[in-house]
């Protein structure tokens, strides 16, 4: 197995993703600077995961060979990378961010974030689209970009850098819980259905040595799809549960200024 | 118990003392009386279920016993399990929630007192239906989880199974209604100052239990509805011989069943989270962790159901993921033990009976939890599933957890409910009888399970198993005796128990701020709430929590009662439809045969009627905004138009059904027709209910009723109506447009 992973074919060192990472780094540095180490760490993690998702064997196998590898890549792009990127944005004071244009106001609406985030997940698993994105390089890029963008919109209402545009705790829990329900349904469907969700993976054009080894170890395309479905289901839900935990922590902590503001508000209400 | 506590509460019965007092109980809408009714009813069924357990133990006392026939044995364990879960466990917990949640949050009553009474009366109704099956010559006998195909018609001809289904549907509806009530009560009726981060943990756990109930019971209801359609209308959802899937029943049952075990344990967690701090004279250690981890339990509990199905062959991948999920959920469950222990650490502990039951809870629950975690290892589960080891596991958690929690709460709160103390001496007797009984019975069963004794088999040949079974029998007798001691204790105390005063234990939370028993309106004045322990603050102004520990302030947010309750109801219904639709997808991914959606459904026609339904959502939305703008005549017109459009849709469905049935396409043809009629039929019923609600609103609006004109009623019905439309969009896409096929 180890030699197989060392196989040169499995590493895509010349992927253009490096360029994307570089551009993001430059843009980030110019806009926000590098003073805040925690934020820098989030950015680094996000970009590292992004690069990993395309350069490593994971990225290569996801490109038409293993459905389950595709699924991991999908989750990294849709959930992990955007989460890290959103968390890497420095906290801003009220009203400063995002620029209050019509479109961005619409996009930062929770309903929109939820629908787009979950929508991307479902849409790209309709057999026809899944196939197209796997077989055509261009559509594949569209898919990856849409994952990253909708992912950012999905996490925005939870971890937005401006406290005002974050959902209140109870709504945030419902938001995340229903998202978990959404990917559970999709995961169950992919796991148990008799349909081949992404036929491109069932019969890859060329075989890699790695694939033969995996096939011999029992990784048939049916097992591959089952594993993919379970990956669609359990890891995202676990991530949502961790997000819920962080929301609850925020909710139970007493932020002095906030508490005082609320107190003032209740006093005003009581006196009126 | 009921009649005498009415006496204790100093009720003045009307004319005829006996019938007047009885009437006051039957017609009550007071949450405290309803709570007591729940608890007393549970006690009656505890007696019945306990008797069934004793009969089972007698039968298993020695090898090849013939005391019970095999058939009767099956009926006994089925009725024992069903009774204990649905007629004892849930009701007694709902009873305590009913009594104490409003008191602990400083409310005068629950949010919907009449709904509360209805929920309660569904309990005896469902219980009697279930037990009425005995009159048909035979009780249900397919186990408390009624696995298909054993529960389907070919294997189970007697009407008993139908009584089981209908009884459980009644109980399920009652539980959901009660849960919605508690949910809204906690959100809406809290005293000023009590933010959700400050509610007593029992209240928080009740809220979590309510959410679990609202979202889990519909899974059972959907499964029951399908089973009933199988049995009464000849469909074949769960009959493998005719293409159905027995496994689907298992999935649906455990999607309900695993959350159910948390419905049974979370309130008990709440109870000991009240008792332990008070008798340690310390606040709970790690309030936020105890509360927050329970929220996590609620979420995770929907994702581990398949650990009850490791033996059916779900495949390696699925087994592995569910095993990991099971280990994960054990974390927030198990770590709380440390919170309770740390609360006792360094406290000035008073070992009252109540506290001793709480400590016994900690010890016994850990044993049950550990054996649960053992099952999470799939190969161990394969070895032990369907043996007495499983029976041992869940009785440790249910008795050591739920029952001991309830006993602890009983000794803690009885003085509040009646104004009299229970005897500590009798209490200790009860405690030791139960601790001995629990361990004797269920430790033996663990060993028997490892030795290979299967559960649910009426006898055994192995002479070596006799000694342990005898010990188990002795334990059962001890638990029965312990229960009699409790009854004696209550009886004596109600007659000549020591007066308790308002706050005999130095309790911290609001229920101790009023008299024992509380007056019908609960409070004269509600103390200021500035921390998690308002009564402590009141009694100890110098060391008040509010001075030393900051907790998030109440921001005054109280959602509207009717709209919140409709949202909760809609969430529950959404789960119900979701499961029905899942069954459609499962059975119709590849359709073959002459009767399938492509060949019998007229998509264009139904599409037209669907536009009418969707249009009605728009007109209702118009009506709402017109009402808000105060333009009453126009509002009435648009409301009328909504009703007309909805009726057109129903008319369309009637035409469709008529066409299908007259060309001999009926529900019992194949799995397509079964799922089709079930999904659209239930949807149609919902549309009709919505139409009735809208018509009532229209009638009231014509009469210038103030409630309607204020708009909240319309908003509530509106949420429901839009929901029904959204469901239809999903139904139309999946069934008519054949998405996912
Ligand atoms: C500490 C965490 C727990 C874990 C990891 C756990 C795990 C399990 C597993 C894997 C089974 C299936 C055994 C089998 O049939 O092969 C099981 C059965 C069961 N558990 Fe637990 N459990 C836990 C806590 C609880 C609690 C707190 C309750 C209830 C208060 C409970 C009630 C039950 C019941 C009723 C069954 C048996 C259902 C039946 O087959 O009739 N468990 N548990
Ligand atoms: Cu379980």
pLDDT at A94: 57
Q: Is B369 in the pocket of ligand 1 (CB under 6 A)?
A: yes
Distance CA B601, CA B732 (A): 11
- A261 touching chain B per CB within 8 A: no
Phi and psi torsions of A162, nearest 5°: -105, 125
Question: Distance from A196 to chain B by nearest Cα, in Å?
Answer: 11
Measured over the CA atoms of residue B182, residue B189, residue B574 and residue B295, the dihedral's sign is negative
DSSP single-letter state for residue A34: S
Q: Which residues pair with B454 in a beta bridge?
A: B387
Q: Is B242 in the pocket of ligand 1 (CB under 6 A)?
A: no
Contacts of B300 in chain A (CB under 8 A): 241
Where are any strands of DSSP class E within B168-320? none
pLDDT in tens, chain A (272 residues): 555 666 667 777 888 889 999 999 999 988 888 888 889 999 999 999 999 999 888 888 887 788 888 999 999 999 999 999 999 988 876 555 555 566 777 777 889 999 999 999 888 888 888 888 888 888 989 999 999 999 999 999 999 888 777 888 889 999 999 999 999 989 988 888 878 888 877 766 666 666 777 777 777 888 888 889 999 888 999 999 999 999 999 899 876 445 445 444 444 444 43
Contact assessment for residue B420 and residue B7, using Cβ atoms and an 8 Å cutoff: no
Cβ(B90) – ligand 1 distance below 6 Å: no
Range 3-42 of A in CB contact (< 8 A) with B: none
The structural domains of chain B, ordered by start, are 2-548 (1.20.210.10), 568-736 (1.20.120.80)
A97: region left, alpha or beta (phi > 0 left; psi from -120 to 50 alpha):
beta
Which helix or strand (DSSP H or E) is residue B51 part of? helix B31-59
Which residues in chain B come in under a pLDDT of 50? Answer: 1-14
Residues A199-231 as b/e (b if ≥16 CB within 10 A, e otherwise) read ebbeebeeebebbeebeeeeeebebbbbbbbbb
A269 neighbourhood in chain B, CB within 8 Å: 556
Please give the Cα distance from B464 to B389 (Å, whole number). Answer: 17
CA A137 to chain centre: 21
Among B294, B555, B585, the strongest candidate for a mutation testing the A interface, having the largest count of A CBs within 10 A, is B555
Q: Across chain B, which distance is largest between two alpha carbons, in Å?
A: 84
Rounded to an integer, what distance in angstroms lies between the CA atom of residue A129 and that of residue A124?
6
Which among B321, B555, B582 has the least Cβ separation from residue A265? B555
Cβ atoms of B476 and B441 closer than 8 Å: yes
Indicate yes or no: CB of A244 within 8 angstroms of CB of B325: no
Give the number of other Cβ atoms within 10 Å of residue B305's Cβ.
23
Q: 3-state class of B557 per DSSP? A: coil
The whole-model pTM stands at 0.92
Q: Are A225 and A66 in contact (CB under 8 A)?
A: no
Beta bridge partners of B648: none
Task: Give, as one character, the DSSP assignment of residue B498.
Answer: P
Given 3-state DSSP classes, what are the helix, strand and coil percentages for chain A, each rounded to the nearest 5? Answer: 75, 0, 20
* Coil, strand or helix at A185: helix
> Which tokens belong to B175?
């539980």
Ligand 1 centre to CA of A251 (Å) is 31
**Chain B residues touching residue A234 (CB < 8 angstroms):** 303, 321, 324-325
Q: Which of B355, B413, B317, B601 is nearest to B36 (CA)?
A: B413
Query: Which pLDDT belongs to residue B740?
Result: 74
- Count Cα atoms within 13 angstroms, Cβ side, for B291: 22
* Cβ atoms of residues B287 and B196 within 8 Å: no
The H or E element containing residue B439 is helix B424-451
pLDDT at A207: 61
């Amino acid at each position: 197995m180890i030699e197989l992973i060392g196989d040169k074919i499995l590493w895509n060192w010349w992927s253009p993703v490096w360029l994307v990472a570089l551009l993001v780094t430059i843009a980030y540095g110019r806009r926000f600077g590098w003073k805040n180490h925690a934020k820098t760490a989030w950015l680094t993690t996000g970009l590292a995961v992004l690069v990993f998702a395309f350069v490593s064997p994971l990225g290569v196998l996801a490109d038409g060979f293993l459905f389950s590898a595709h699924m991991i890549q999908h989750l990294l792009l849709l959930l992990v990378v955007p989460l890290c990127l959103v968390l890497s944005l420095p906290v801003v004071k009220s009203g400063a961010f995002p620029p209050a244009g019509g479109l961005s106001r619409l996009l930062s609406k929770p309903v929109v974030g939820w629908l787009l985030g979950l929508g991307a997940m479902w849409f790209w698993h309709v057999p026809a689209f899944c196939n197209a994105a796997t077989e055509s390089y261009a559509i594949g890029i569209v898919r990856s970009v849409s994952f990253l963008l909708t992912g950012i919109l999905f996490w925005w209402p939870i971890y937005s850098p401006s406290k005002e545009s974050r959902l209140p705790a109870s709504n945030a829990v419902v938001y995340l819980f229903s998202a978990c329900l959404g990917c559970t349904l999709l995961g169950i469907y992919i796991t148990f259905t008799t349909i081949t969700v992404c036929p491109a993976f069932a019969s890859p054009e060329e075989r890699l040595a790695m694939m033969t080894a995996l096939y011999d170890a029992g990784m048939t395309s049916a097992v591959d799809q089952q594993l993919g479905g379970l990956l669609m289901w359990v890891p995202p839900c676990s991530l949502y549960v961790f997000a819920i935990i962080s929301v609850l922590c925020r909710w139970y902590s007493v932020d002095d200024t906030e508490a005082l503001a609320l107190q003032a508000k209740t006093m005003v209400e009581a006196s009126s | 118990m009921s009649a005498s506590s009415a006496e204790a509460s100093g009720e003045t019965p009307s004319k005829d003392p006996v019938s007047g007092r009885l009437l006051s109980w039957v017609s009550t809408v007071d949450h405290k009386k309803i709570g007591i009714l729940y608890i007393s009813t549970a006690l009656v069924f505890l007696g019945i279920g306990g008797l069934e357990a004793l009969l089972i133990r007698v039968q298993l006392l020695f090898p090849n016993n013939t005391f019970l026939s095999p058939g009767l044995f099956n009926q006994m364990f089925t009725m024992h399990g069903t009774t204990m879960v649905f007629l004892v466990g849930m009701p007694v917990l709902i009873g305590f929630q009913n009594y104490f949640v409003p008191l602990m949050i400083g409310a005068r009553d629950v949010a919907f007192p009449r709904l509360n009474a209805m929920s309660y009366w569904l309990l005896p109704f469902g219980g009697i239906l279930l037990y009425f099956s005995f009159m048909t010559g035979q009780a249900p006998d397919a186990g408390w989880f009624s696995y298909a195909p054993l529960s389907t018609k070919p294997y189970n001809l007697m009407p008993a199974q139908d009584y089981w289904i209908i009884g459980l549907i009644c109980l399920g509806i009652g539980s959901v209604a009660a849960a919605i009530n508690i949910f809204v009560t906690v959100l809406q009726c809290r005293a000023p100052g009590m933010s959700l981060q400050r509610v007593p943990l029992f209240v928080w756990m009740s809220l979590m239990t309510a959410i679990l109930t609202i979202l889990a019971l519909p899974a059972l209801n959907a499964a029951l509805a399908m089973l009933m359609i199988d049995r009464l209308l000849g469909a074949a959802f769960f009959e493998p011989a005719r293409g159905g899937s027995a496994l689907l029943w298992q999935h649906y049952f455990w999607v309900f069943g695993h959350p159910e075990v948390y419905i049974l344990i979370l309130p008990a967690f709440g109870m000991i989270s009240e008792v332990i701090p008070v008798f340690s004279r310390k606040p709970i250690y790690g309030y936020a962790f105890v509360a927050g981890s329970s929220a996590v339990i609620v979420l995770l509990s929907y994702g581990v159901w398949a650990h009850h199905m490791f033996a059916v062959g779900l495949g390696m991948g699925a087994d592995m993921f569910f095993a990991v999920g099971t280990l994960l959920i054990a974390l927030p469950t198990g770590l709380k033990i440390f919170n309770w222990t740390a609360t006792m650490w360094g406290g000035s502990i008073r070992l009252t009976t109540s506290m001793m039951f709480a400590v016994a809870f900690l010890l016994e629950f850990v044993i049950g939890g550990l054996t649960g975690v053992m099952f999470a290892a799939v190969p161990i589960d394969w070895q032990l599933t369907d043996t007495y080891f499983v029976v041992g596991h869940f009785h440790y958690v249910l008795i050591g957890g739920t029952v001991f929690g309830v006993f602890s709460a009983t000794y803690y709160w009885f003085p509040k409910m009646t104004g009299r103390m229970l005897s500590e001496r009798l209490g200790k007797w009860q405690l030791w009888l139960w601790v001995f009984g629990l361990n004797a019975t269920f430790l033996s069963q663990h060993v028997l399970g490892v030795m290979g004794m299967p559960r649910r088999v009426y006898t055994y040949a192995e002479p070596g198993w006799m000694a342990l079974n005898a010990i188990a029998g002795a334990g059962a007798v001890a638990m029965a005796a312990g229960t009699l001691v409790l009854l004696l204790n209550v009886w004596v105390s109600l007659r000549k128990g020591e007066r308790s005063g308002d706050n005999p234990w130095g309790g911290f939370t609001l229920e101790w701020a009023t008299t024992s028993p509380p007056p019908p309106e609960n409070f004269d004045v509600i103390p200021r709430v500035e921390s998690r322990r308002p009564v402590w603050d009141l009694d100890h102004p110098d060391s008040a929590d509010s001075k030393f520990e900051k907790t998030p302030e109440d921001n005054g947010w109280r959602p509207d009662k009717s709209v919140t309750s409709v949202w909760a109801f809609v969430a529950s219904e959404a789960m119900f439809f979701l499961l029905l639709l899942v069954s459609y997808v499962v059975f119709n991914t590849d359709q073959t045969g002459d009767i399938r959606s492509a060949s019998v459904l007229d998509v264009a026609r139904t599409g037209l009627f669907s536009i009418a339904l969707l249009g009605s959502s728009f007109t209702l939305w118009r009506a709402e905004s017109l009402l808000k703008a105060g333009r009453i005549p126009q509002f009435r017109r648009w409301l009328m138009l909504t009703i007309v459009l909805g009726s057109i849709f129903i008319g369309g469905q009637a035409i469709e059904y008529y066409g299908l049935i007259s060309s001999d396409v009926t529900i019992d043809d194949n799995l397509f027709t079964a799922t089709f009629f079930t999904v659209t039929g239930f949807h149609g019923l919902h549309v009709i209910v919505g139409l009735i609600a809208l018509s009532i609103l229209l009638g009231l609006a014509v009469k210038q009723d103030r409630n309607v004109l204020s708009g909240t009623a319309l908003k509530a019905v509106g949420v429901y109506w839009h929901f029904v439309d959204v469901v239809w969009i999903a139904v139309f896409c999946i069934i008519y447009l054949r998405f996912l096929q």
